[in-house]
């Protein structure tokens, strides 16, 4: 019976690891100083500036947070780090054992440029391994979602959208790149009447007014 329980425990542990690796969002296992001790496959491929993620480094150093460059000691040691929303979320989860769910804005230095990102941060209560205590930190980039909720520069004539690099893009291309949405094309009633005045009513009747 004891052997069966041990085998069940090993099976559940292996299954939990597979589930963690399969998650489509980056997940980090961090300590109270936000030092990365482990990460899932998505997190490993998420840090494009580094090409691969290194453990035993603080998250801000690994992701090139602009404040990690404020002082030589790096992430968590600069004058702004005490107000870092990620560190605060980890601290609440670590010291109170509470799940924290919040949206934060961060600025990272990537490819020589400072870029602002909006992240959905979720920290789970403590996990314990080999006598040590950690927090599970998941990060979801919601920058595009927030941008789409805001104002987009759009040409008053051709309706193209200007992207962050200053290029004018077709509406379909912009939304497909940022949301994955696929577009089909049709004509509204007003355009049908404008383009096909002699056939408009018959065409609209055939398509049920669409």
Q: How confident is the model at residue 49 (pLDDT cuts 50, 70, 90)?
A: very low
Q: Are residues 132 and 166 in the same domain?
A: no
Do residues 123 and 155 share a domain? no
Distance CA 105, CA 72 (A): 23
Residues 104 and 172 in one domain: no
Q: How much of the chain, in percent, has pLDDT values that exceed 70?
A: 81
Terminal C-alpha separation, the chain: 67
Same-domain status, 98 and 118: yes
Q: Are residues 140 and 182 in the same domain?
A: no
* DSSP E strands, the chain: 27-30, 36-39, 100-110, 113-129, 132-141, 161-162, 168-169
- Which stretch of 6-20, 32-46, 155-169 has the lowest confidence by average pLDDT? 6-20
- Token pair in block for residue 187: 């004509």
| Structural domains of the chain, count | 2
Q: Is the pLDDT of residue 210 over 70?
A: no
Q: Measured at the alpha carbon of residue 78, what is the angle toward residues 75 and 80, in degrees to the nearest 5?
A: 105
With bands split at pLDDT 50, 70 and 90, how would you rate the model's confidence at 60? very high
Residue-number span of the structural domain to which 10 is assigned: 2-147
Q: Specify the residue for token string 């040691």.
A: 77
Question: Is there a single domain that holds both residue 38 and residue 84?
Answer: yes
Residue 208 pLDDT grade (very low, low, confident, very high; cuts 50, 70, 90): low
Q: Identify whether residues 129 and 60 lie together within a single domain.
A: yes
Question: Do 123 and 178 have their domain in common?
Answer: no
């Amino acid at each position: 019976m004891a052997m069966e329980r041990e085998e069940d425990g090993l099976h559940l542990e292996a299954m939990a690891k597979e589930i963690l690796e399969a998650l489509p969002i980056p997940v980090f296992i961090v300590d109270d100083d936000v030092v990365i001790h482990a990460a899932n496959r998505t997190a490993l491929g998420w840090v494009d500036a580094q090409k691969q993620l290194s453990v035993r480094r603080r998250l801000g150093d690994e992701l090139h947070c602009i404040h990690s460059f404020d002082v030589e000691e790096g992430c968590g040691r600069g004058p702004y780090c005490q107000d870092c929303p990620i560190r605060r979320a980890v601290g609440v989860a670590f010291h109170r054992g509470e799940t924290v769910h919040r949206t934060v804005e961060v600025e990272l230095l990537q490819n020589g440029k400072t870029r602002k990102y909006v992240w959905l941060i979720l920290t789970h209560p403590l996990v314990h391994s080999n006598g040590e205590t950690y927090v599970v930190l998941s990060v979801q980039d919601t920058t595009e979602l927030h941008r789409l909720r805001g104002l987009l520069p759009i040409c008053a004539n051709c309706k193209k959208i200007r992207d962050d690099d200053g290029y004018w893009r077709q509406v379909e291309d912009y939304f497909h790149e940022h949301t994955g949405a696929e577009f089909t094309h049709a004509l509204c009633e007003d355009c049908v009447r404008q383009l096909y005045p002699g056939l408009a009513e018959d065409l609209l009747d055939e398509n049920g007014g669409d």
